[in-house]
Copies of this chain bind each other. A is one copy, B any other.
Amino acid sequence: MANLRPALPRPSPSFDLAGRCGACAIRELSICSVLSANELDLLCTIISTINFEPGHTIITEGEPAGDLFNVIRGSVRLYKLLTDGRRQVTGFLFPGDFLGIALNDTYAYSAEAIEPVQLCRFPRRKLEALLAELPRLERKLLGTTAHELAAAQEQIVLLGRKSAKERLASFLVLLSDRALKRRQPASPVDIPMTRTDIADYLGLTTETVSRTLTQMRQEKVIATIQRNRIDILDPGGLIELAGGTIGN
């Protein structure tokens, strides 16, 4: 069960000023979607963008939470480590997603770039100061947090009560749905994360992930295109396999 892994290199980010929020490609997907042009100009004054290469650490669990982020490009894994090195991936972020929600003094989890990532950075103190003037943003933040809480509870059901096959099916359905929300096709699904990431997200091992995908391939529910792209041949069957909750 142990899952020790080497320390990853510290970030060597490249900075630059964000310029115009108005031109932001992911604005409509992000928390900024609730802001008027004027409000956007206000928010615009406190942000900057920052890039990370694959494998580099964006935030670290337990460290002072100085900044919050929006993902502009690329993908991110969130995870927590047990003291003996076992890792649990708690989620993945894609363009439009918000990072750093725990409004505490320290980050509640770590985040690393999976692919090359571009982030929009909000200094926490400045953002909090602005919230008083941007009530819609605060409300949106509450909605986003509540949404993440609901997603975490779905993940709790998955980890507590689903079989390996149900977990994989749920995972693929999730990726497909989220791709749709970003206006990407639901079916050939990009899988930017490694099997290890998937295993650590689903509470399994890479071997079980691999075997289960093979099985689903043999059953013609999915087809693998290259290593990191999966074609969903039978969406209905996949959803069936995923075994949803009463509410869905």
CB within 8 Å of B: which residues of A?
1, 3, 61-62, 80-84, 86-88, 90, 101-104, 106-109, 132, 135, 138-139, 141-143, 145-146, 148-150, 152-157, 159-163, 200-203, 243-247
Whether the pair B153, A61 counts as a contact (CB closer than 8 A) is no
Whether the pair A203, B246 counts as a contact (CB closer than 8 A) is no
CB within 8 Å for A150 and B203 given contacts A145-B142, A160-B159, A245-B83? no
**A170 CB to nearest chain B CB (Å):** 11
Whether the pair B1, A143 counts as a contact (CB closer than 8 A) is no
Whether the pair A156, B157 counts as a contact (CB closer than 8 A) is no
Q: List 14 A-B contacts (CB under 8 A).
A: A61-B247, A62-B247, A83-B243, A83-B244, A88-B161, A90-B153, A90-B156, A101-B146, A102-B150, A104-B150, A138-B142, A145-B146, A160-B200, A160-B201
Q: In the complex, what residue of chain B is closest to A60 when comparing beta carbons?
A: B246
Bound complex: CA A88 to CA B148 (Å): 18
**A12 CB to nearest chain B CB (Å):** 23
Bound complex: CA A224 to CA B87 (Å): 33
Whether the pair A109, B160 counts as a contact (CB closer than 8 A) is no
Bound complex: CA A244 to CA B245 (Å): 29
Q: Which chain B positions have C-beta within 8 A of A150?
A: 102, 104, 108
Whether the pair B203, A88 counts as a contact (CB closer than 8 A) is no
Q: Which chain B positions have C-beta within 8 A of A61?
A: 245-247
Q: Which chain B positions have C-beta within 8 A of A1?
A: 161, 163
Q: Which chain B positions have C-beta within 8 A of A101?
A: 146, 149
Bound complex: CA A40 to CA B243 (Å): 44
Q: In the complex, what residue of chain B is closest to A204 when comparing beta carbons?
A: B160
CB within 8 Å for A247 and B157 given contacts A146-B102, A149-B148, A149-B149? no
CB within 8 Å for A80 and B246 given contacts A88-B161, A142-B103, A152-B152? yes
Whether the pair B247, A106 counts as a contact (CB closer than 8 A) is yes
Q: Which chain B positions have C-beta within 8 A of A163?
A: 1
Whether the pair A155, B157 counts as a contact (CB closer than 8 A) is no
Bound complex: CA A146 to CA B146 (Å): 8
Q: Which chain B positions have C-beta within 8 A of A80?
A: 153-154, 157, 245-247
Identify A139's interface contact among B108, B138, B148, CB under 8 A.
B138
Bound complex: CA A18 to CA B183 (Å): 49
